[in-house]
Amino acid sequence: MLEGVIGKVMAGWMSLSALMFSPYSGNEPAFRALHLRAGESYIILQAKLDKAFDNDFLDVFNCGKPVTVNFKIEVRNGNKTEHSSTYRHTVTYDPMNAVWELVKSGTRQRDIITTYQKLLAEVSMLECSIPRDVNWKHVEFRVEAWLQPVQLTQPDKTVDLMVLWKFRRPAIKSAFNLQATS
């Protein structure tokens, strides 16, 4: 049994190592249109990445190391940043059970995911609640995403996963009129 587990861990590591030294397609990540819903004291923001994890990411997500997708949200009123926060979705593969654990910092919820399709849907979606300031009238929301590097133990190497996004940080802006929701 232990040999099987070690084999799965080594297979994940070998896959990621092969990715570092082989040609890859890369991805063209982009956000879909933002969805914003305003309440009296909060704003719910939904952002979804498309084409971010199409090529090469199965090996990355199966490497056994935590893989983190960051989302930064800024609310701007003219030239002034009114609110800024960063959220993290961290995926870790469990080779013993052949499942992924997804931790979303916004909800602090830990989900166990059994299919790759569900993992892609969940890691691509950000939903968060932003405190609403009563003085905000016309604001602009900006969302940006990026990947954190992964530290491999053998070989002792840090892999910059942004290479898989061609070193581009997808971003989207959307203006929102809060007077219409008051």
Residue 152, pLDDT score: 77
In degrees rounded to 5, what are phi and psi of residue 130? Answer: -115, 130
Q: What is the mean pLDDT of residues 160-166?
A: 93
pLDDT at 31 over 70: yes
Mean pLDDT of 138-148: 96
Mean pLDDT of the chain: 86
**Nearest alpha-carbon partner for 120 in 47, 53, 35, 22:** 53
Chain centroid to CA 126:
8
Mean pLDDT of 67-87: 95
Tell me the C-alpha distance between 91 and 67, whole Å. 5
The pLDDT of residue 5 is: 41
Q: Which structure tokens are listed for 162?
A: 């942004």
Q: Is the Cβ–Cβ distance between 7 and 90 less than 8 Å?
A: no
| Distance separating alpha carbons of residues 76 and 134, to the nearest angstrom | 14
| Token pair recorded at residue 8 | 């799965």
